[in-house]
Amino acid sequence: MKKTGILNADLSYLVAGLGHKDLVMIGDAGMPIPEGVTIVDMALVPGIPTFKQTLDALLTEMEVEYYFLADEMDDKNPQLKAYVGEKLPGIEHESMPHDALKDFSAQVKFAIRTGEFSPYANVILRAGVVF
């Protein structure tokens, strides 16, 4: 039995298979996932797991070189936007309109659906390398 890190077998497998420049999305409970994108549905009940819990767990096993957020986070969820910045200090990023982020999500290798119920709690992470 695995005793540390991500215990969800599907998610652990997908993270282990990431290559440089692969994209991964962490989405709130309402974020639509484009057809054809692999979904790891972690949502259990409203609020569980949270976006923060999911991001924290993923960052223990994934190197991130860049990330993408929705412009709407500035006004609708500034605390969560600040949290992402704190967890990814010095990492370059960009924001785009939420509809554009939804369209862009068709390029992700997989998406993680959380139980998060706060607005615009979505991020697309681009995998980096550890060397």
The 10s digit of each residue's pLDDT in 56-70 is 999 999 999 999 999
Contact status, residue 109 vs residue 18, Cβ threshold 8 Å = yes
Task: Using alpha carbons, list the distances in angstroms from residue 31 to 7, 45, 68, 86, 126.
Answer: 23, 15, 15, 23, 18
* Active-site residue identified among 17, 20, 30, 59: 20
Which residues line the annotated binding site for substrate? 28, 98, 120-122
Give the model confidence (pLDDT) of 4-43 as tens digits.
999 999 999 999 999 999 999 999 999 999 999 999 999 9
- 20 classed as catalytic: yes
Residue in 27, 13, 33, 47 with CA at minimum distance from that of residue 125: 27
Nearest to 66 by CA among 120, 109, 111, 128: 128
Which residue numbers belong to the known binding site?
Answer: 28, 98, 120-122
Domains of the chain with CATH codes: 18-127 (3.40.1650.10)
Copy the structure tokens of residue 24.
């991964």
Full-model pTM: 0.97
